[in-house]
Amino acid sequence: MSAVITGTGVAVPPNVVTNDDLARIMDTSDEWIRSRTGVVSRRFVDPGTATSDLAAEAALAALSDAGLHGGDVDAVVCATMTPDHQNPGIAGAVQHKAGLGTAAVFDLRQQCAGFLFGLDLADMLISTGRAATVVVVGAEVHAGYLPWGDAWEIVLGRSDRAPTAEERVRATRHRAWSVLFGDGAAAAVLQARAGRHGILGSVLRTDGAHADLIEVPGLGSRHRPYADAAQIAAGLHHPTMNGAGLYRMAVETMPAAVREALAAAGCGLDELDLVVAHQANDRILEGARRRLGVDAAAMPSNIAHWGNTTAATLPILYHELRRQGRVGPGSLVAFTSFGAGAHWGAVLYREPGTDEAA
Ligand SMILES: CC(C)(COP(=O)(O)OP(=O)(O)OC[C@H]1O[C@@H](n2cnc3c(N)ncnc32)[C@H](O)[C@@H]1OP(=O)(O)O)[C@@H](O)C(=O)NCCC(=O)NCCS
């Protein structure tokens, strides 16, 4: 049996934050962010909305798109780097909130590559006959770990006050990574179908030696106690990022993984219709695209309006492309991503033909 995507859905939060909004609380500019990353605006949830809330909404939308109900789901795979709590993971909450019965759940921790690894897990469950219907969700609420404190009310346009000197210094100290991210969620329903379509193959790689390219150094078993005021005061709950190192590794690994997946499936680069690549920033996309050797139209970007939504970028983009009619019967699509860990890879996917879709 092959794993075929039969439905997709998104859940995006209401609060749009532009680069100019960020420039109100830190030393940055629309020009700097746009030219370095491609991001024009991103969205954030209101306080009180957790990752599992967005994830459950996206899962329900994807099920509705597939014409299914909660009771039809055998397994739920959730990828996030911003879970509701330290533990448990969000998959159980998503299952419960979306009414997915007692389906088996899996929580994945591959950050920006989480949805990619989730597609492969769904394929394994379906191709081995362990499940007939799997929901894979990528979801993030980054808002809680952005270092803006009370200045959030300025960012969201709910206060006209100027930031304090301390707020501006702190936001500026974290500007290199904080301007990249946005909240969002999306899901795909994968179902067992006979035929040579659906997921054709996957290449998944991890090199733990590069885990420090982007990591959150505090809050974990490395520390005793695992969370305390000293870690917060030292800012260890915020990520540290080697932006140049990430760029170099991402632009090499994603094209290599796509080529390897194509070769393993006996497909040529010229047969690829779309590359659905992680939306970390437009310069990475462009570097990866040139190394892979595909046209700009074949490797779309939507980072301008969402920012980097980590595990949610692939399914949000794929959902948009389906809605725009860019994924047609028989389309050959390569999903590819690179994430903190470091994890990367590619999943090759063939949309069923018109006579095979049922
Ligand atoms: C983060 C990234 C955009 C930074 O771009 P860059 O051109 O490499 O910029 P640098 O880090 O060299 O910083 C250049 C200058 O811009 C400043 N700068 C950093 N962020 C800024 C911001 N938001 N606004 C204005 N200036 C900023 C730096 O402080 C530095 O100033 P200095 O020269 O006075 O020290 C780039 O490295 C990148 O895209 N890396 C990949 C990161 C990524 O995708 N992360 C997501 C993880 S999966």
pLDDT, tens digit (0-9, with 9 covering 90-100), for 279-304: 999 999 999 999 999 999 999 999 99
Q: What is the pLDDT of residues 174-201, one digit of tens each?
A: 999 999 999 999 999 999 999 889 999 9
Q: Is 281 in the pocket of ligand 1 (CB under 6 A)?
A: yes
Which CATH code for domain 2-193? 3.40.47.10
Query: Which residue owns the Cα nearest ligand 1 atom 42?
Result: 243
CATH class of 198-350: alpha beta
Query: Which residue owns the Cα nearest ligand 1 atom 12?
Result: 244
Catalytic residue list: 112, 278, 308
Query: Which residue owns the Cα nearest ligand 1 atom 25?
Result: 28
Q: Tell me what the mean pLDDT of segment 311-315 comes to.
A: 98
- E strand spans, the chain: 2-11, 15-18, 41-44, 75-79, 104-108, 133-140, 184-193, 198-206, 214-215, 240-241, 274-277, 332-339, 343-350
Q: What is the pLDDT of residue 145?
A: 87
Query: Which residue owns the Cα nearest ligand 1 atom 47?
Result: 280
Confidence of residue 350 (pLDDT cuts 50, 70, 90): very high
On the question of pLDDT at 357 being above 80, the answer is: no
Q: What is the pLDDT of residues 85-129, one digit of tens each?
A: 989 999 999 999 999 999 999 999 999 999 999 999 999 999 999
Under DSSP, the state recorded for 72 is: G
Confidence of residue 82 (pLDDT cuts 50, 70, 90): very high
Q: Is 33 in the pocket of ligand 1 (CB under 6 A)?
A: yes
Q: Is 178 in the pocket of ligand 1 (CB under 6 A)?
A: no
Q: What is the mean pLDDT of the chain?
A: 96
Looking up tokens 């996206």, which residue turns up?
58
Q: What is the pLDDT of residues 189-245, one digit of tens each?
A: 999 999 889 999 999 999 999 999 999 999 999 999 999 999 999 999 999 989 899
- 342 CA to centre of ligand 1 in angstroms: 20
Give all strands of the β-sheet with 75-79 in edge-to-edge order: 2-11, 184-193, 133-140, 75-79, 104-108
Q: Is 175 in the pocket of ligand 1 (CB under 6 A)?
A: yes
Q: What is the pLDDT of residue 355?
A: 63
Domain-wise residue ranges, the chain: 2-193, 198-350
Pocket test for ligand 1, best of 31, 33, 36, 246 (most atoms within 8 A of CB): 36
- 243 CA to centre of ligand 1 in angstroms: 7
